[in-house]
Amino acid sequence: MKITVADVEHVARLARLELTAAEKELFAGQMGSILGYVDTLKSVDTDGVVPTSHAVPMENAFREDVVRPSIGVEKALANAPNRSGSFYAVPKVIE
């Protein structure tokens, strides 16, 4: 399967990754061979087969809607690369 550098750039944009020129070349080749390999699945007859998202059949897990203690602001913000008061600080979103 042929994956071009333009394909790689498109997918990288979707995945929020910035790749070097060398990485783009490398990934185009490697993704091509990996996707070529997974194309073997096309030969499997799956007409009428239900897709499996989960190996153990289970219903939705519900719990009582009651307030419980949480980890709190300080603990939640302890790993923040940047904070402002009780908020995470990020670069300006709207100019």
Residue 1 in contact with residue 39, Cβ under 8 Å?
yes
Q: How far is CA 2 from the centre of its chain?
A: 23
65 near another protein, judged by CB under 8 A: no
Report the alpha-carbon distance of residue 13 to residue 7 in Å, rounded.
10
What is the C-alpha to C-alpha distance for residues 6 and 9, in angstroms, rounded to an integer?
5
Q: Least separation, in Å, of the C-beta of 43 and another protein?
A: 9
Beta bridge partners of 90: none
Nearest to 86 by CA among 68, 74, 69: 74
Asked if 86 interacts with another protein (CB under 8 A), we say no
Least distance CB 83 / another protein (angstroms): 10
**Which 1-60 residues touch another protein, going by CB under 8 A?**
7-8, 11-12, 14-19, 23, 27, 30-31, 33-35, 37-38, 40-42, 44, 46, 49-56, 58
Q: Which residues bind another protein (CB under 8 A)?
A: 7-8, 11-12, 14-19, 23, 27, 30-31, 33-35, 37-38, 40-42, 44, 46, 49-56, 58, 61, 63, 71, 75-76, 78-82, 88, 90-93
